[in-house]
Chains A and B, each alone.
Chain A
C-alpha cells in the first residue's frame, strides 16, 4: 500500500529533478556565455524554473504544444529536449536542435511539442493560439500553451490572441511568466491596471495568479487550466509571479535598476530551495549528483560536435523533391 504522502513525495522529487537540470544547465550556459564560448545573446531562466516545470509536467507532447519566449531554455528542457542538443544549438554546433540555425532565442523542437521560442515579444501568444485552433478544428484533443513575459501583456498580440481564443473557445492556456522586469524596466512602471491576470476578466476568461516559485502550486493551477482546455471549456490566463535571478542578457548589470535587497528577498524564495526543503536530504543529494553528471556529459557531447556546416544545402522554402 503506497501512501498518498509518498506519491506526493515522488511527484515532488520528479519536479525537483527537472528544475535542478534547468538550473545547472543555465548556470553552465552563463559561464560559457561570459567567456564568449556562447556567442551572441542568451537569456537565462534561473529563478523561474518552477513555472516551466509545473506547467510542462502536465502536458502530453507532441499532441500538446507549447510556444515559449526567447528566455526559453527552461521550457525546452522541461518538455524533454535533449540538453546536449540544446547546448549544441547555443554553441552553434551541427548537433544543435536546429543545426545551429536558430541559436538560443528561436529554438524549435516539434518532436517534444515545442512550436518554438519566440524572439519577438508576444509572438508566442499568437502562435500557440493558432496551434489551439488547429487542435480544435482537427478534433485531436490537443492543448496549446503560450508562455509569455509580463512585457508581452502590453503587446497587441496579447489582446488580439486572447480575444480570438475566447470568441472561438480554443483549447489553450496562457501562462504569464511575470518576472517583474521587462528588460530593465519594472513591470509596474509600464503596465496599467496593476494585474495581468485581471485582464482576463475583460475577455470573460478565468484569470488566476499563482506563486510561480512554488512548483506544486503552479502545477495545481495549470492542471485545472489544462483540464478546462482539454474538455472544451476554453482558455485560461495564469499569471505566475516569479523573479529573474540574472540580468536581462549580457550587457546589463541588474544592480543598476533593481532596488537593494530585492534579489536577496527573492533568493530567499528560490523555487529549488523551497522544493528541496521538503525532500529527504539523501534523495536530494542523489538527484543533484545525477543532474550534475547529465549536464556535464551533455556539454561534453555538444563541445565534441562539429560546428554547423555551412556547406549543407540550404533553402528558405520547402520544394517538392
Chain B
C-alpha cells in the first residue's frame, strides 16, 4: 500500500518509521529539533524527545566523528549535514574512520552510520551551497552513496541507508523537496542498497542519471521521442555501489550511452558509469553531460548556463545517434 506525500516529508517519514522501530536510531544535526533548514525533520522532536533528536553545535567535523564512535558502540545514528558542500569537514570521519573500520578492525564491528545531506544547484545558492560533491566520496572503500530522485525513493533509500550496517551517505536534492508522489507504507519491505531502476524503456540510447538530472533526462527523452529517437532512462539510485548489471544490460541493448551528472566533468559518477559499461559491454559510443570545470556561479544567467538541462542532454543524444552503435539492432 502507498500514500501521497512530498520528497521532503518522505524523508521525515522514513526517519520516523525507523526511530519508531529501532530504539538505537538517533538523529543529530544543526536545528533538527525544529525541522532543519530544509524542514525535512519536522515534528520528530515532539514525538521522540531529546534523547533521540539532538541539536548539535555548528561543528560538523566533531559531531559526525562522534556519531562514528557512537555507531561502533551500538547506536544507529543519522547525521544531518545541512549542505553537501560541508562534507569536506567530515571527510576525515567518512574516509579514515567510518568506512575503514569494518575491514581494518578485522570485522570486530561495523559502523551503521547514515549521513544525510542536501545537494544540488539551481537555487541560486552560489559556489558553497550548491554542489553535489560525489567525486569527493567515490573513492572511499567501505562507503555507500544513495541518491533519491523521487519521493518514493526519498523514503525507500533513507530507510535502506539506516538499516544498512555500513556508513551510507544519502544525497537529497534541494530542488526536489517539494515534489509529490506515491510512497510506500511503513510495512513495505526495505531493500538492500545497490539497485538502479529503468524509468523509461527505449532501444536507441541509454541515458543514466541521478537526482534532479533524472527529471531532465526524462524531459529530454520526450523531446527525442518526437524525433523518433527512443531513449532508455536509468535512475542510478545508488552511486556506490553502481548497479553494473542493469547498466550493462541496457547498454548492450542500445549500444549507446549518455550519462548526466550535475557535477564537475572529472572524477564523478559519470566517469564510473562509462567505465563500468565499457568494461561489461565492450567499446560503446558515450557522451557525458556534466557541469563545466568551474565553481558553481550565483547569478541566474550564469548558473542556468552551466546546469545539465534537457536541451543539453537531448543534444548529446542526437550527436551520439549520428554515430554507429556498437551492436547491430
Contacts and interface: CB of A to CB of B under 8 A. Distances in A.
A135 B73 contact: yes
Interface in A135-161: 135, 137-138, 144, 156-157, 159-161
Interface string A125-136: 011111101110
Contacts of B63: 160, 164
Interface residues on A, range: 35 or more
B5 interface: no
Interface string B147-181: 00000000000000000011000000000000000
Interface in B55-96: 56-57, 59, 61-63, 65-75, 92-93, 96
B144 interface: yes
Interface size class of B (residues with CB under 8 A): 35 or more
Contacts of B108: 98, 108-111
Contacts of B144: 317
B96 A123 contact: yes
B96 A120 contact: yes
28 contacts: A65-B73, A97-B106, A108-B101, A108-B109, A111-B108, A115-B72, A116-B101, A118-B97, A123-B92, A123-B97, A126-B66, A126-B68, A130-B70, A130-B71, A131-B72, A133-B66, A133-B69, A134-B69, A134-B73, A156-B59, A156-B61, A161-B66, A163-B62, A164-B66, A167-B57, A168-B54, A316-B142, A320-B165
Contact of A161 (B65, B103, B105, B107): B65
B141 interface: yes
Give the 7 A-B residue pairs with the shortest CB-CB distance, closest first: A130-B69, A160-B62, A126-B65, A316-B142, A130-B66, A134-B73, A127-B69
B51 interface: yes
A130 B101 contact: no
B298 interface: no
A101 B102 CA distance: 10
- Most chain A beta carbons < 10 A, residue from B66, B72, B103: B66
Nearest to B193: A317
Given A102-B106, A156-B61, A317-B166, 8 more contacts: A101-B104, A127-B66, A133-B69, A159-B59, A160-B57, A160-B62, A163-B62, A164-B57
B92 A131 contact: no
B104 A137 contact: no
B105 A116 contact: yes
Contacts of A256: none
A126 B62 contact: yes
A164 B54 CA distance: 11
Contacts of A99: 106
B102 A106 contact: no
Contact of B59 (A96, A119, A137, A160): A160
Contact of B102 (A138, A168, A316): A316
B99 interface: yes
Interface in A295-321: 314-320
Given A110-B105, A127-B68, A161 B62 contact: yes
Contacts of A131: 69-70, 72-73
Contacts of A98: 104-106, 108
B27 to A, nearest CB: 12
B26 interface: yes
A67 interface: yes
Interface in A55-91: 65, 67
